[in-house]
Structure 1
Amino acid sequence: MPQEDDFNDIGMSEYPKINLNPLWIAVFTDILGFSILLPILPAILTNFNTNALVIGFLLSINAIFTVIFAPILGKLSDKYGRRPLLLISQAGTCVGFIILAFSTNIWIIFISRIIDGVFGGNFPIAKAIIGDAVPPKKRSIQMTNIGVCHTLASLAGPAIGGLLSIWGLFAPGIFAASLSGLTMIMTIFYIPETWTKEKRLKLKKERIQQNVHVKFSIRKNNEAFYLLIQFGFHTLSFFLYISSISLFAAVVFGFNAQQIGIYLMISGIFRVVIRFTIFKPILKKLGEINTLKVGLLSFVITFILLGFSRDPVSFMIILILVSFAASLTRGPFNSLISQSVSPKEQGIVNGYASSLDSFGQILGPLLGGLILYIFHPSMIGFTAGIFSLIAFVMIFNAGIYITIIKSRDRKAKET
């Protein structure tokens, strides 16, 4: 888990000194719920006598309920405090995993994923706690730690799911439920309330009016709107790939859950290595826009190659190339989207980007399940490649990116 930074040494009394480690475990567990299922999807399909379309819906149902209920949990945390809502969210995640562990048919698995989705507000509440407890100058570091948790969960989830799958759904479900229980205990003992009653009473009417103005103005921001559409195509292609790759491997290569878990784990290891070794030199050498070009082009080529993959060796190479492409796209995308708006619009534009992530998690599995149900698995690669190609071509709209660069340079001169 990421270590707590010395962000409380600034002497700002309005920011309570807290241990953020339980938050990292909570976010890790939240993401683990998706990634731990990936290697055991083929077993669920076979053992519960279902089809790829149902599996796609099973993956997307969690995101559907998260999109609906996460904002509700967030608003409730504004009204009643972060700590009680975080505990409720963690308890819901724990219950969802327990139900998964004892699932005897596909509909019980659906119920477990729905419950996890309804109470899956760990991520937005964690971001709210960081906003409450971390001074602005240190906040970006802690937000980056959330990304580290995402990477670690994406690495550990497939490995855990694959290794524990010899005991069916029971072992992965109990493992994740135990981890959720641990986060609850740590929250009770180590995380104080960061959104106190006094702070709640300080919510000003002017802030609400300002947010209305911000939402209106960002819709007229052509650069931000364009980048968000581009990001949406990229997100859809990635979640189409990640939600379908396990069934692809099972159908094309006859892989079992352990083999799928190992392959996805190796891919995750390469992503971590690339992210912390060659990513920064590439970014420094090429700049954000050219790095994004390389990443998106790599996605296009890799997804098309996936459509032609017919042996395990080429499949492993493709997984590594996907790790390379993913490492080069996410950071530059987030940075460019952030640079396309003014400081007061940061929260709104990041909220839109998060919503696109959620919709990608909904539409990607549904589309992947439909493709696997009707067409040959190779169409997964070709379809994801088309969406990535659209995102790649969009980067050559010079006017949009020149405007962003000029805006960035102007802000740099002002600081």
Structure 2
Amino acid sequence: MSDQPVEPAGRQWTHAFRFIFIAAVINAVSFGIMIPVLPNLIKEFTGGDTAAASEWNVVFATVWGLMQLFCGPILGMLSDRFGRRPILLISLAGLAIDFLFMALAPTLAWLFVGRVINGLTAASFSTANAYVADVTPPDQRAKAFGWMGSAFSFGFLVGPALGGFLGDIDLRLPFFVAAGLTAINWLYGFFVLPESLPVERRVAKFDWRRANPVGSLVFLRSHRDLLGLASIGFLFQLAHTVLPSIFVLYTGYRYGWTPGFMGLTMMGTGLAGVLVQMLLIGPVVARIGERGALLLGAMAGAIGFAIYGFAPNGWVYIAGIPVFALMNFLQPGLQGLMTRRVGPSAQGQLQGANQSLQGIASVIGPIVFGLTFAWSIRHSGVMHQPGLAIYLASSLLVLAFLLALKMGRAPETVRAPA
């Protein structure tokens, strides 16, 4: 079996890409709905204690990250062996169940169970990325990954605004709506979405030696440049966990924002991201290349986070959104460079390895950022820096930028690591 990617004839790949893009948009909207309300639901269970809610948020996010750490590589290998479509269906089913647990949970323990189920099965975005690599020619992947990023941003454009509006009515209502949208997406995947990985391009057998976090790291080490790029991705994912970890509690504490206004702010952030991903990434990457996009995204993210952490009022925070939106150049550039380094039968394994690193980031990030935020507001008399956790995220992206200067060059040929 050849390790060289097989490019679809003509523009056939654009039709296949539309299928997965629609699925990604629906998934992102349903995911975005819960973001402005889940921390407030946790806060309700803790009797209104913001610091305690932040600490419980750490527990939830850490457990979810641990599930991703161990299950991400397994799901990635399964998608290389059996195809992308069945793994997407499993992932969407787990997400729908999680939303129902959130909607009906009488205690924090029930919320915890739902997060565990979701963590065990969550592979929708990583499998979607493998799907994109299957159907997209290498020279079009940065643009395609930019569009996939816009699907996620569209989720932040519509989802949080809808979730905040519904959450102002009833904190449980957004989760019922999210569960319904996810169920619709599952039906779309079952009846409409075609398989992207032909039988002849799948791996011959499932390899347990690689379907674990250690095996994933060995896979990434098989090519020095791939490991360096994965390190950049890890720093990005780690920094990226700061806002999911503390945004709702941070903006509520510092600026007094309501769930509805938080949702509108996320909507504005999502709109800026969509504009960047749909209008700028294609032509800009064509001019500055994938490495240039990677460097631009890392530096813009570092500056954007610095503005968010410094902002003494909500309007300064909002003014930082256009700068922060340019961080959306990072992931398409990074994914474009990484997928060029492996063949078609290893794209799922690559995305599973990336998801494993994301799992590690999801374990470490909420602990570092959530506890840092809790400490900063509990000791505001000692050091009044509620944005301290966001400053840490900014520093991580500065490190990512410096690493990208060295590791972000495009490979001369595509090969599949052993």
TM-score range normalised by the length of the shorter chain: 0.7 to 0.9
Q: Does the Cα contact within 8 Å between 1:303 and 1:382 map onto a contact in 2?
A: yes
Select the residue among 45, 50, 57 that pairs with 1:48. 45
Q: CA RMSD in A?
A: 4.2
Select the residue among 267, 289, 295 that pairs with 1:293. 295
Distance between the aligned counterparts of 1:76 and 1:337, measured in 2? 20
In the other structure, the counterpart of 2:338 is: 337
Q: Which moved more, 1:113-122 or 1:277-286?
A: 277-286
SS at match of 2:390: helix
Distance between the aligned counterparts of 1:137 and 1:305, measured in 2? 35
Q: Does the Cα contact within 8 Å between 1:131 and 1:139 map onto a contact in 2?
A: no
Go from structure 1 to structure 2 and tell me whether the alpha carbon gap of 1:237 and 1:168 turns closer, same or farther (over 3 Å shift).
Answer: same
Q: Does the Cα contact within 8 Å between 2:146 and 2:282 map onto a contact in 1?
A: no
SS at match of 2:122: coil
Once the two structures are TM-superposed, the CA of residue 221 in structure 1 deviates from its matched residue by: 3.1
TM-score, normalization by structure 1: 0.77
Go from structure 1 to structure 2 and tell me whether the alpha carbon gap of 1:297 and 1:51 turns closer, same or farther (over 3 Å shift).
Answer: same
In the other structure, the counterpart of 1:221 is: 223
Match for 1:268: what amino acid?
G
1:352-391 pair list within 5 angstroms = 352-376=353-377, 377-391=386-400
Rg comparison, structure with higher value: 1
Select the residue among 108, 113, 117 that pairs with 2:119. 117
Select the residue among 87, 91, 104 that pairs with 2:106. 104
For CA contacts below 8 A with separation 6 or more, give which structure has more relative contact order: 2
In the other structure, the counterpart of 2:380 is: none
Q: Does the Cα contact within 8 Å between 2:31 and 2:155 map onto a contact in 1?
A: no
1:60-139 pair list within 5 angstroms = 60-73=62-75, 86-123=88-125, 126=128, 134=135
Once the two structures are TM-superposed, the CA of residue 332 in structure 1 deviates from its matched residue by: 1.9
Q: Does the Cα contact within 8 Å between 2:80 and 2:203 map onto a contact in 1?
A: no
SS at match of 1:375: helix
Q: Which moved more, 1:255-264 or 1:156-165?
A: 156-165
CA deviations on 1:330-373 (whole Å, 9 max, x unpaired) are 2222233345x364796354443343333333322222211111
Query: What is the number of residues matched between the two proteins?
Result: 390
CA deviations on 1:395-415 (whole Å, 9 max, x unpaired) are 344xx45xx35x44x78xxxx
CA deviations on 1:135-189 (whole Å, 9 max, x unpaired) are 8689958766543432322322211221110233321111111112222333443
Once the two structures are TM-superposed, the CA of residue 315 in structure 1 deviates from its matched residue by: 0.8
Go from structure 1 to structure 2 and tell me whether the alpha carbon gap of 1:273 and 1:251 turns closer, same or farther (over 3 Å shift).
Answer: same
Q: Does the Cα contact within 8 Å between 2:269 and 2:321 map onto a contact in 1?
A: yes
Q: Does the Cα contact within 8 Å between 1:82 and 1:193 map onto a contact in 2?
A: yes
SS at match of 1:395: helix
Match for 1:98: what amino acid?
L
Distance between the aligned counterparts of 2:129 and 2:404, measured in 1? 30
Once the two structures are TM-superposed, the CA of residue 302 in structure 1 deviates from its matched residue by: 2.5
Once the two structures are TM-superposed, the CA of residue 117 in structure 1 deviates from its matched residue by: 2.2
SS at match of 1:310: coil
Q: Which moved more, 1:375-384 or 1:354-363?
A: 354-363
Once the two structures are TM-superposed, the CA of residue 97 in structure 1 deviates from its matched residue by: 1.2
Distance between the aligned counterparts of 2:109 and 2:151, measured in 1? 30
CA deviations on 1:30-52 (whole Å, 9 max, x unpaired) are 44454333212452243111421
In the other structure, the counterpart of 2:254 is: 252
Match for 1:379: what amino acid?
L
Q: Which moved more, 1:170-179 or 1:223-232?
A: 223-232
CA deviations on 1:14-73 (whole Å, 9 max, x unpaired) are x9xx98777545544544454333212452243111421111332343343234334445
Q: Within the alignment, does 1:266 sit opposite 2:268 as a pair?
A: yes
Match for 2:271: what amino acid?
I
Q: Does the Cα contact within 8 Å between 1:69 and 1:119 map onto a contact in 2?
A: yes
Q: Does the Cα contact within 8 Å between 1:42 and 1:250 map onto a contact in 2?
A: no
Q: Within the alignment, does 1:394 sit opposite 2:394 as a pair?
A: no
In the other structure, the counterpart of 1:238 is: 240
CA deviations on 1:86-114 (whole Å, 9 max, x unpaired) are 54443332222122112232222222222
CA deviations on 1:296-344 (whole Å, 9 max, x unpaired) are 22222232232321111101012332112x22222222233345x3647
Identity percentage of aligned residues = 22
Distance between the aligned counterparts of 2:72 and 2:206, measured in 1? 25
TM-score, normalization by structure 2: 0.76
Go from structure 1 to structure 2 and tell me whether the alpha carbon gap of 1:66 and 1:29 turns closer, same or farther (over 3 Å shift).
Answer: farther
Distance between the aligned counterparts of 1:130 and 1:281, measured in 2? 19
Match for 1:110: what amino acid?
F
Once the two structures are TM-superposed, the CA of residue 77 in structure 1 deviates from its matched residue by: 6.2
In the other structure, the counterpart of 1:3 is: none
Match for 2:32: what amino acid?
S
Q: Which runs of 5+ in 1 are unaligned?
A: 1-6
Once the two structures are TM-superposed, the CA of residue 266 in structure 1 deviates from its matched residue by: 0.4
Distance between the aligned counterparts of 1:202 and 1:296, measured in 2? 34
1:14-29 pair list within 5 angstroms = 23-24=20-21, 26-29=23-26
Distance between the aligned counterparts of 1:174 and 1:350, measured in 2? 30
SS at match of 2:155: helix
Q: Does the Cα contact within 8 Å between 2:23 and 2:188 map onto a contact in 1?
A: no
Q: Which moved more, 1:65-74 or 1:100-109?
A: 65-74
Once the two structures are TM-superposed, the CA of residue 262 in structure 1 deviates from its matched residue by: 0.4
